[in-house]
C-alpha cells in the first residue's frame, strides 16, 4: 500500500468526488496530520513558529468556524505509538471532525473565514490524509 501525504486536493477526480452528495447523515472526517519542523508561509513571511504551532492557529479558528456549518471538532490527539502494522513514518496528530454531510464540509472549506485561517494550515503541514467515514453503530 502506497501512502502519500498531501496538503491540498489536486487531483480532478478527488475534487469531483467531493462535490457529489455523499452519504446520508453525518460524516466524520479523520485527519492524519504530519507537521513541518518549521512553519513556511506561502507569502514568504518570516516566522519562528513550528509547523505544529502554525497549524494550531488554524485549528483554533476552525473550532469557531465549523459550528456555523453544523459541525464540530469531535476529537484531536497526539500520535504516541504504532501498536500494529508498519509505516515508514508516523503522523503527528489525529483529528476527527463531524459534519452534518459532505456539503457542509465543502461549504465551510470554501468560506472566506476558512480560507483566511487556512494560510496557517498550509504553513504548518508537511502533509495529511483526510478519510471520510460514517458511523456504523452507536449514535451518529
Q: What is the end-to-end Cα distance of the chain in Å, rounded? A: 30
Q: What kind and span of H or E run contains 31? A: strand 27-35
Please tell me the predicted confidence (pLDDT) of residue 23.
Answer: 82
* pLDDT at residue 99, as a whole number: 96
Torsion of CA 75, 62, 98, 111, to 10 degrees: -160
For residue 7, give the nearest of 54, 45, 75, 44 by alpha carbon.
54
Classify the C-alpha dihedral 131-76-56-117 as positive or negative.
positive
Helix, strand, coil tally for the chain in percent (to 5): 35, 25, 40
Task: With both helix axes pointing from N to C terminus, report the angle between 102-110 and 112-124 in degrees, rounded to the nearest 10.
Answer: 80
Provide block-wise average pLDDT over 10 residues at a time, the chain (140 residues). 64 66 89 97 96 97 96 96 90 97 93 96 94 81
Give the pTM. Answer: 0.86
| Res 24: pLDDT | 85
User: What pLDDT score does 109 carry?
Assistant: 93
Please name each of the domains of the chain with its CATH number.
12-133 (3.30.70.100)
Amino acid at each position: 500500500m502506497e501512502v502519500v501525504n498531501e496538503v491540498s486536493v489536486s487531483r480532478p477526480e478527488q475534487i469531483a468526488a467531493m462535490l457529489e452528495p455523499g452519504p446520508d447523515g453525518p460524516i466524520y472526517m479523520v485527519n492524519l496530520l504530519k507537521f513541518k519542523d518549521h512553519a513556511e508561509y506561502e507569502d514568504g513571511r518570516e516566522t519562528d513558529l513550528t509547523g505544529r504551532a502554525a497549524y494550531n492557529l488554524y485549528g483554533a479558528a476552525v473550532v469557531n468556524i465549523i459550528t456555523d456549518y453544523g459541525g464540530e471538532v469531535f476529537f484531536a490527539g497526539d500520535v504516541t505509538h504504532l501498536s500494529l502494522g508498519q509505516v515508514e513514518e508516523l503522523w503527528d496528530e489525529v483529528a476527527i471532525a463531524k459534519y452534518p454531510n459532505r456539503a457542509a464540509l465543502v461549504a465551510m472549506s470554501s468560506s472566506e473565514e476558512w480560507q483566511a485561517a487556512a494560510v496557517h494550515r498550509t504553513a504548518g503541514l508537511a502533509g495529511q490524509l483526510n478519510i471520510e467515514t460514517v458511523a456504523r453503530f452507536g449514535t451518529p
